[in-house]
Structure 1
């Protein structure tokens, strides 16, 4: 039984030519989605960003990550969101951080584009109740909730799995080597998207595309099969 979880591959390049070449490589390797990390570009311009997505011509997540959540965008918040607004009719999804000003989020969510409302913590994994509250807020704003968290121990990774078990239409990732397995096992909780890499590592513990596809399509830890054997 093949996984329904889509594999997104982030592309973090500085110029148009490199971005399109990397996207083509990822598509050949079996990516289901391209995450275009706009903040990786040198001085991105809205029209150029739009042209890149059009030339890639493949389901794309437009992400322009803010510095406080691991991004590199150097302009104002208004400039950052204006670039994302230029992508809403050519991208499959737009990723916008929960911490973004409510009025700026609303400008994105009022369009017809599907949205991923995201939250990242590169230092820790907050308690489950706090994370559930974050996911609740995200789902009230957009189509898919996303949390990516740094574990300090194995128990923190189980907190991430608990989020997946409680919440539909949610991406929950435990980062780092200790949390890398959550990127694979999330398919058993019907996570809509997981993330792999080609040559660009944008978060600790990421897995390459080909390995991820093989792991997702193995019937390991199939809960339905396990239950039917008793």
Structure 2
């Protein structure tokens, strides 16, 4: 039985080599577009726009949303037609840069998912939603994404510890049941055994053959998980071009080389 995949712009997540996702964390339009240009020159094919890192000077959620929507066309043009765009608002509770109410998070993500110009592909290919947020908000974002043909990354981040293997498997499977096309967990190891826990959970879920997922152990201790993704069933890894978005991220080109060297 062949494992299911999720496809965006011809990129098939869950098949062959794991994809490299580069976070874009520019604080203003100039920095954002410059980083996007640099990222587009690497072998990475998916870029993650960290909305919570954009325009920190705008405290009002409505003003921030308008600024995000205003720069989206330029960002899409900078990435070109062959690279996919993942939009993510990482909340403070899960390691993000700014707080946001669940209702405002839903409004922001729905606005981005809904953007479409006549005769063109949607500028947003994937959307991240933290599955620990309000259940109604999570359900509405997932439903809106699927109506618009947008792939959903359902995410969970533990910035302090690594839960048990059974709990990690439970989280990934629950995210899938909620409708996430790509469940994602990122956890913090306190020992080498924690890293093994994450990798074992990833392999267990991969053996379900129910679709792609992403599993990462963060920080220097977990760096090996960012290049061992294929062996343990994770469909993608995160790597940097310039400033990163989470502890332990490696340079995109270094990761691309290591993924090739470590292919099973």
CA distance in 2, matches of 1:28, 1:150: 30
Identify the range of structure 1 (104-113 vs 177-186) with the bigger mean alpha-carbon deviation.
Answer: 104-113
Q: Please tell me whether residue 23 in structure 1 is matched to residue 45 in structure 2.
A: no
1:101-147 CA-partner distances (Å, limit 9, x unpaired):
11111221113311011111111101111111111111112101111
Distance 1:24 1:102, change over 3 A: same
Whether the aligned pair in 2 keeps the contact of 1:95 and 1:117 (CA below 8 Å) is: yes
Q: CA deviation at 1:54?
A: 2.9
Unaligned runs of 5+ in 2: 1-14, 59-63, 114-121, 207-211
- Secondary structure of 1:185's match? coil
Question: 2:201 matched to which residue of 1?
Answer: 163
Query: TM-score, with normalisation over the residues of structure 2?
Result: 0.78
Matched, 1:181 2:201: no
Report deviation, 1:76.
2.3
- State the match for 1:227 in structure 2: none
**4+ residue segments displaced more than 4 Å:** none
Return the match for 1:39 from 22, 30, 52. Answer: 52
Aligned to 1:70: 95
Residue 200 of structure 1 corresponds to: 243
> Is residue 192–residue 221 contact of structure 2 (8 Å, CA) maintained in 1?
yes
Distance 1:195 1:213 in 2: 11
Matched, 1:118 2:155: yes
- Please say if residues 12 and 37 of structure 1, whose CA atoms lie closer than 8 Å, have aligned partners that are also in contact: yes
What is the Cα deviation at residue 77 of structure 1?
2.1
Q: Which residue of 1 aligns with 2:135?
A: 102
What is the SS of the residue equivalent to 2:153? strand
Q: CA deviation at 1:53?
A: 4.2
C-alpha separation between the residues in 2 aligned to 1:10 and 1:33?
9
Separation in structure 2 between the aligned mates of residue 22 and residue 170 of structure 1, nearest angstrom: 26
Which one of 130, 143, 147 corresponds to residue 167 of structure 2? Answer: 130
Aligned to 1:54: 76
Q: Any stretches of 5+ residues in structure 1 without a counterpart?
A: 223-230
Q: How many residues align?
A: 220
- Considering only aligned residues, what root-mean-square deviation do their CA atoms show, in Å? 1.7
